[in-house]
Amino acid sequence: MEIRFLSVGCGDGICIRFLGDDESYHNILIDCGTEKGNKYEGSLKKELIAIKERKEKIDLWIITHIDDDHIGGILRFVKDQALFKEIDLSATRFWFNYSDHDYDTGTSPDNFKSVKQGIRLRELLKQKALLQQFITDELQLINFFGVKFSILSPNRQKFEDLVLEWKNEEIKIIEKKAASFKDAEGNDHDTKIDDFDLELEESDTSTANASSIAFILEYKAKKFLFTADAHPQILENALSQLGYSAENKLHLEFMQVPHHGSKFNTSDGLLKIISCSNYIISADGFKHNLPNKKTLARIIRVEETKPVNFFITELNSATKSIFSVDGILENVTLNFPSAGTGGLIFTL
């Protein structure tokens, strides 16, 4: 199995290719970046062309939630008329928690969350693909050609909250303003690890983030946690329901740090029931100043003397200097994509 975290700025774009138990190769995509800017051409488009040239198909496309930095790249693909006509989506299964309510939200095109985008995508997928909603933690273990999915988020209540927000323009705008205010805080990279108040935990209140599809992926007895922008309390509760605890930890090869490393989406409670050394962050250090260094400090503290390897999808002046004020940190490494790879590549 090869897992690629694409360099799409502060957004998620993930491509998974694996040899299934039917002895054929399969492709799973997760989100794929923003609709704006030029990231599409150097990331998702290249992956789609590679799949086409291998004469393979996209077996499953998981749309975790309706934020632009997750859903937008797919809409950009739709606008790419020449390539869109060449890619057959008729046999592609989409996991997408949407609402059947259709209306004009009247929201600004500059907003980062967009029900308008969700409506556009929903109508397209209804016509072109196999669209499945109600992806919640109520689903049983899913076996997909030898890859096993354990859905952790959203729970039923958070899915219903999404539908309500989708339906109610006023709620949508209020949530959007609250989330944007939080993200507007300044960069915390100049704070030393030991100077953070890690006893103070702050919570994400975004309904869209709470509706994120998050899951454990298991392949040949190795486990990988994909979190999108999920709330840590939801993940922790779901893992507890599966029998994991501080005494019976979930052992992971890799963990995607929720919400691009936001301090609002990682908690001690979640980290203490997980055993992991490799943490992946989809962020560029500039947009919303993510990742928050406080999140990385929390992970380092929970892991104590264990090696901690951080993998960040974008290499630039902001991301490479996160630990500059701390000097040399024992057991902590900061890793970035190799030149020309277009992202982080992991092999399981």
Helix (H) / strand (E) element for 130: namely strand 130-132
Strand, coil or helix: what is 64?
A: coil
pLDDT the model gives residue 33:
87
**CB neighbours of 348 closer than 8 A, spacing ≥ 6?**
1, 3, 219, 220, 222, 224, 253
Question: Over the range 193-226, which residues count as b (16 or more CB within 10 Å of their CB) and which as e?
Answer: beebeeeebeebebbbbbbbbbbbbbbeeebbbb
Q: Would you mind telling me the total number of residues written for the chain in this entry?
A: 348
User: Domains of the chain, with CATH numbers?
Assistant: 2-347 (3.60.15.10)
d(CA 284, CA 189): 13
pLDDT the model gives residue 175:
52
Of 78, 63, 296, nearest to 192 (Cα)?
296
pLDDT the model gives residue 101:
54
pLDDT tens digits in sequence order for the chain, 348 residues long: 999 999 999 999 999 999 999 999 999 999 988 888 888 998 999 999 999 999 999 999 999 998 888 988 888 998 898 999 999 998 999 999 877 654 333 333 443 446 777 777 877 777 777 888 889 999 999 999 999 999 999 999 998 888 787 776 434 444 554 444 444 467 899 999 999 999 999 899 888 899 999 999 999 999 999 999 999 999 999 999 999 999 999 999 999 999 999 999 999 999 999 999 999 999 999 988 999 999 999 999 998 888 999 999 999 999 999 999 999 898 999 999 999 899 999 998
pLDDT the model gives residue 178:
46
